[in-house]
Amino acid sequence: MPAKLSVNVNAIAMLRNRRDLPWPSVTGLGRIALAAGAHGLTVHPRPDQRHVRFSDLPEIRALIDDEFPGAEFNIEGYPTEEFLALVERHQPEQVTLVPDDPSQATSDHGWNFVAQAAFLGPIVARLKKGGLRVSLFSDPDPSGMAAARDLGADRIELYTGPYGACHDDPARAEGELSRLGEAADAAFAAGLDVNAGHDLVVDNLPPLVRRVPRLAEVSIGHGLTADALEYGMATTVGRFLKACGW
């Protein structure tokens, strides 16, 4: 089965937040994305709510439950107690834990699964006890995958930012793709499923899914939202689904 597409709506929320107005509508564009075939919606509620607001979460949860019950809600973020309480309140199908500092503009590195095991282990156990699927944001480092498994994670999400940054350098992109592939192979060997996300676009998705044919999910926000400004959300979702192999 091709990789599922989860649309990250943070960039939509950031545009809305420039004015004290309700548009563009996060749930409205989320509805269009799901109706066009997206498999889920992703949010990253940061502590300062500069992108998705905490008040968006129950609305997205209701949208999926009431209109698209086959879709998934993915909440990602740094696991503060406030974040964990949000997750437990809104019951996403998947929680993606990222090692972001609150001041970071966007995610830019994965966890050190060995060095941060004492911190992550109890958090993963708490979320798993609540019946949630847990994915851990990961650099493309094959050596860390057994440690991620030992933490109790179900999946890792490969950080594809360096690969996306090679949009004008095909030779360097090949090297980054090789690193991602080797990390994915190690994750599969450890018994983990693999997601991917960050700076993925229509052009660089097909090589990734060819190299990692068992990729479970891609979470895409910035590039997809940029394309939606040009093509519209429904057409853009169709373009990204095709790039994933659907």
Quick check: 78 and 102 in contact, CB under 8 A?
A: yes
Domain that holds residue 186: 4-244
| pLDDT recorded at residue 107 | 64
Assigned token pair, 119: 């911190």
Residue 108: is its pLDDT beyond 90? no
Q: How far is CA 56 from the centre of its chain?
A: 17
Map tokens 């929680």 to a residue.
95
Q: Provide mean pLDDT across the span 54-58.
A: 98
Residue 116 pLDDT:
96
Q: How many CB atoms lie within 10 A of CB 80?
A: 11
Six-digit token string for 209: 């899914």
DSSP letter for 27, please.
H
Residue-averaged pLDDT of the chain: 96
Report how far apart the first and last C-alpha atoms of the chain are (Å, whole number). 8
* 196 touches 180 (CB < 8 A): yes
How does residue 20 score in pLDDT terms, banded at 50, 70 and 90? confident
For residues 87 and 90, give the distance between their C-alpha atoms in angstroms, rounded to a whole number: 5
Dist. CA 181–CA 141, nearest whole Å:
10
Number of folded domains that form the chain: 1
Residue 202, pLDDT score: 98
- Name the 3-class secondary structure at 104: coil
Catalytically annotated residues: 44, 76, 198
The rounded distance, in Å, linking the Cα atoms of 214 and 202 is 18
Residues 6+ apart with CB under 8 A from 62: none
- Mean pLDDT of all residues in 167-193: 97
Residue in the block written with tokens 């107690």: 81
Summarised one tens digit per residue, pLDDT across range 212-228 is 999 999 999 999 999 99
| CATH assignment at residue 149 | 3.20.20.70
Percent pLDDT > 90 in the chain is: 95
Tracing tokens 């860390």 back to the chain, one arrives at: 144
